A and B are shown apart, each in its own frame.
Chain A
Amino acid sequence: MPALSRWFIRCALAYLALGFTLGAMMLALKALAHHGAVARLIAPHVEFLLMGWTLQLTMGVAFWILPRLEGGASRGAVGYAWLAFGLVNVGVIAAGLGPLIEGSETVRLLGRTAEAAAAIAFGLHAWRRVRRASVAGITMPR
């Protein structure tokens, strides 16, 4: 597993733990009828689990297992994938925590923009790798 996949997947696991912690707190608060507190935690809970955990894990595994280029020697434009890693993490923190700050619509907007930019960067990296796999110049069966 390459270094970038390890970064993606370990961050995803951290967000999984954070997101489930918030989710458990929300369920407990709901049971205790503190509905206002539950509402405040929804944004980071959703952001951490959808983007921080699910999306980031997907990117990490895709970077690891998609067919390589140049006869298996290269993963292509790796810089775009590193850019996606940075942007998605900045985005998750800003979009997840922004709504907790009074009058911080701009922070949330910047977070969502960073997440969208991460998607573009990862798409630029992965596009060429979505193809028929080959090993040492031998084309694999479809």
Chain B
Amino acid sequence: MPPLTRWFLKSALAYLVVSLLIGVTLAVPEALGLPSAIAALQPVYVHLFMVGFVAQMIFGVAFWMFPRYSKDEPHGNEHLALVTYVALNAGLIARTVAEPMLTLRPGAGWAAILILSAACQWLAALAFAVNTWARVKER
């Protein structure tokens, strides 16, 4: 298993745990005294699971298991794959902080970080699609 796949998969497992713990927190009844502001974590919960865990697990396994691009570059463009990993995780972590904060304390700073996180995640998806496209072949 290539090192980058190990990074993808271990990060994915970490997001799985964090997202499900947030899911538990969201399910705690208000009667137990948690602040109602905790509801601002709802979109973060969904995206940590679907992007952080599901998509990242797929990215890591595809980088490892898909047909080789060539003898010299079996995983395609490794730089593009690294961009995918860094941009996806930077974008997701920025979003995890900025999205609830924008809901609770709206301000230009949080808005700017949220837009930056959107750009990072978009870049990651495009980099993965481009690098993987060339490996979707007969052999």
Q: How many pairs, one residue from A and one from B, have CB atoms within 8 Å of each other in the complex?
A: 71
Please state if A31 and B136 are interface contacts (CB–CB under 8 Å): no
Please state if A13 and B111 are interface contacts (CB–CB under 8 Å): no
Give, as a whole number of angstroms, the nearest-CB distance from A44 to chain B: 15
- The 8 Å CB contact of A57, one of B58, B99, B110, B119, is B58
Interface size class of chain B, counting residues whose CB lies under 8 Å from the partner chain: 20 to 34
Give, as a whole number of angstroms, the nearest-CB distance from A119 to chain B: 18
- A16 at the binding interface (Cβ < 8 Å): yes
A22-30, A78-86, A87-95, A104-112 - interface stretch: A22-30
- Name the interface residues of B103-139: CB closer than 8 Å to any CB of A: 106, 110-112, 114-115, 117-119, 121-122, 124-126, 128-129, 132-133, 136-139
Please state if B126 and A20 are interface contacts (CB–CB under 8 Å): yes
- The 8 Å CB contact of B128, one of A6, A9, A16, is A16
Report how far A26 CA is from B50 CA in the complex, Å: 16
- B54 at the binding interface (Cβ < 8 Å): yes
Q: Which residue of A lies closest to B138 (CB)?
A: A1
- B75 at the binding interface (Cβ < 8 Å): no
Report how far A27 CA is from B117 CA in the complex, Å: 8
Please state if A6 and B136 are interface contacts (CB–CB under 8 Å): yes
Provided the pairs A16-B128, A17-B129, A31-B115 are in contact, do residues A24 and B138 lie with their beta carbons within 8 angstroms? no
Q: What 11 additional pairs, Cβ within 8 angstroms, besides A21-B122, A31-B110?
A: A5-B136, A13-B136, A14-B129, A20-B122, A20-B125, A23-B121, A24-B121, A24-B122, A28-B115, A28-B118, A31-B115
5 smallest A-B Cβ distances: which pairs? A20-B125, A27-B118, A24-B122, A31-B111, A24-B118
Which A residues are closer than 8 A to B by beta carbons? 1-3, 5-6, 9-10, 13-14, 16-17, 19-21, 23-28, 30-33, 49, 54, 57
